[in-house]
Structure 1
């Protein structure tokens, strides 16, 4: 398990990619698409995007959410306490990306805990042409290109404490 150190929290509050104020400004083209977060995933689906991998925790800004995703993706479940990246989450992301790239299936990972930090392993495990979308609370949606951000994600993960 990787634990987020206190001194890294402020850095991770800044967008890792392009911040878009409106979801309608987001252009993912034909890229492999990963969405992280309930609102981001819902917005992607409402805008006609079909994420290859979605990662949700049924919470919006730390509050329980009762929305239901009516999606045909294969469901994977993972445990991931707040402020961590667990082996369970890492393996679920890896399995989902592998299934999506090799078999063309779509996956939704439902996290028991918190999915916020799933962006980092998603960047590191994703194919180079991947776009990752995640929410920036009260600001918009962040578009991350895995190929342009993998070294930054690796640098950040090296600062996590291993437990």
Structure 2
């Protein structure tokens, strides 16, 4: 996850579920300036080798990758993420052609195109993330409890790439909050490597705390993600 982008201009959405100036994007949450420092500390262990990261996976749950470079390295190491969130940039610089080609987006079952301005989480990205997580097929009672699918839907297993027009930097936080127990979320830590976050009670709690500190309509965000607003996170 590259460094959080500057706040939206003052004439943009206030982050209360209102549309932006163009009227086409519903912004649900925004990143306040005083919260940027909270993203400097990694959520989990940092790896410089994708193979070692994959070897460290303790659970067979879904793998969610946020970022083009992270996705590229995981694919190169032999594991295509179940959910990949891409925006074509790394630290606000367009990714190299090798990285773009290496993410191999044609191999995914589903492609979702979403607009998400910098320093925001929109209706589109939160809804797409919940849909993609449901598609991983992490079912049983766990999937039903967490609002990520039940019955026949919980048994299907599809890979999804979410192609973001804008920035995907903040998607790591709702991904940790909404992913099923046993999943792993991987994102890039600038200048350090790849961070692997095991989705468990403590990491969900930290993600929920960050979501609560963002400005905007938190209940709407939880509704879109399929998690309950009065809980610390999806139950096991």
Query: Is TM > 0.5 for Structure 1 vs Structure 2?
Result: yes
Are 1:142 and 2:172 counterparts? no
Match of 2:186 in 1: 133
Higher mean alpha-carbon deviation, 9-18 vs 153-162, is at 9-18
Match of 1:3 in 2: 30
- Answer yes or no: is the 8 Å Cα contact 1:36–1:55 preserved in 2: yes
Deviation per CA, 1:4-34: give whole Å up to 9, x if none: 0111101112211111233232122423100
Are 1:70 and 2:123 counterparts? no
Q: Where does the alignment leave 5 or more consecutive residues of structure 2 unmatched?
A: 1-27, 138-153, 218-236
Larger radius of gyration: 2
Of 72, 79, 95, which residue of structure 1 is paired with 2:131?
95
Q: Which structure would you say has the larger RCO, counting Cα contacts within 8 Å and 6 or more residues apart?
A: 1
State the secondary structure of the residue aligned to 1:156. Answer: helix
CA RMSD of aligned residues (A): 1.3
- Answer yes or no: is the 8 Å Cα contact 1:123–1:132 preserved in 2: yes
Match of 2:140 in 1: none
- Answer yes or no: is the 8 Å Cα contact 1:53–1:96 preserved in 2: yes
Counterpart mapping for 1:108-119 below 5 A: 108-119=161-172
Deviation per CA, 1:22-72: give whole Å up to 9, x if none: 323212242310000000000000000121101010111101224233242
- Answer yes or no: is the 8 Å Cα contact 2:68–2:90 preserved in 1: yes
More strand by proportion, 1 or 2?
Answer: 1
- Answer yes or no: is the 8 Å Cα contact 2:65–2:85 preserved in 1: yes
Match of 1:58 in 2: 88
Match of 1:28 in 2: 57
Of 106, 120, 136, which residue of structure 1 is paired with 2:173?
120
Q: Where does the alignment leave 5 or more consecutive residues of structure 1 unmatched?
A: none
State the secondary structure of the residue aligned to 1:100. Answer: coil
**TM-score when normalising by structure 1:** 0.94
**TM-score when normalising by structure 2:** 0.66
Deviation per CA, 1:119-161: give whole Å up to 9, x if none: 0111111101110110001101101011140010001100000
Cα distance in 2, alignment partners of residues 94 and 56 from structure 1:
16
- Answer yes or no: is the 8 Å Cα contact 1:23–1:140 preserved in 2: no
Cα distance in 2, alignment partners of residues 158 and 48 from structure 1:
36
When the two structures are aligned, how many residues end up with a matched partner?
163
Match of 1:156 in 2: 210
